């Protein structure tokens, strides 16, 4: 969070995350980011994907 200059209290972030109904899941992470107005995106990759680093995220 500090790297991207999001002024979020990490203790508050943790408390909020533990109170989400879908915790622990990817959905809870995106919901938490949305609550704190933190930009985020979720991508679905092929089921055969072995490493996240194999995803090409370059824009056309």
| Whole-number pLDDT of residue 20 | 87
- What letters, b where the CB count within 10 A reaches 16 and e where it falls short, cover 22-36? eeeeeebbebbbeee
In this predicted structure, the answer to whether residue 59 has a pLDDT above a threshold of 70 is no
- Name the residue ranges covered by the structural domains of the chain: 1-42
Tens-digit pLDDT profile for residues 20-41: 888 888 889 899 888 888 888 8
Q: What is the mean pLDDT of residues 42-54?
A: 79
- Is a pLDDT exceeding 80 seen at residue 54? no
Q: What is the mean pLDDT of the chain?
A: 81
């Amino acid at each position: 969070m500090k790297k991207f200059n999001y002024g979020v209290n990490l203790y508050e972030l943790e408390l909020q995350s533990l109170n989400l109904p879908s915790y622990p899941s990817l959905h809870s992470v995106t919901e938490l980011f949305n609550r704190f107005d933190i930009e985020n995106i979720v991508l679905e990759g092929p089921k055969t994907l072995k490493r996240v680093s194999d995803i090409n995220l370059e824009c056309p």
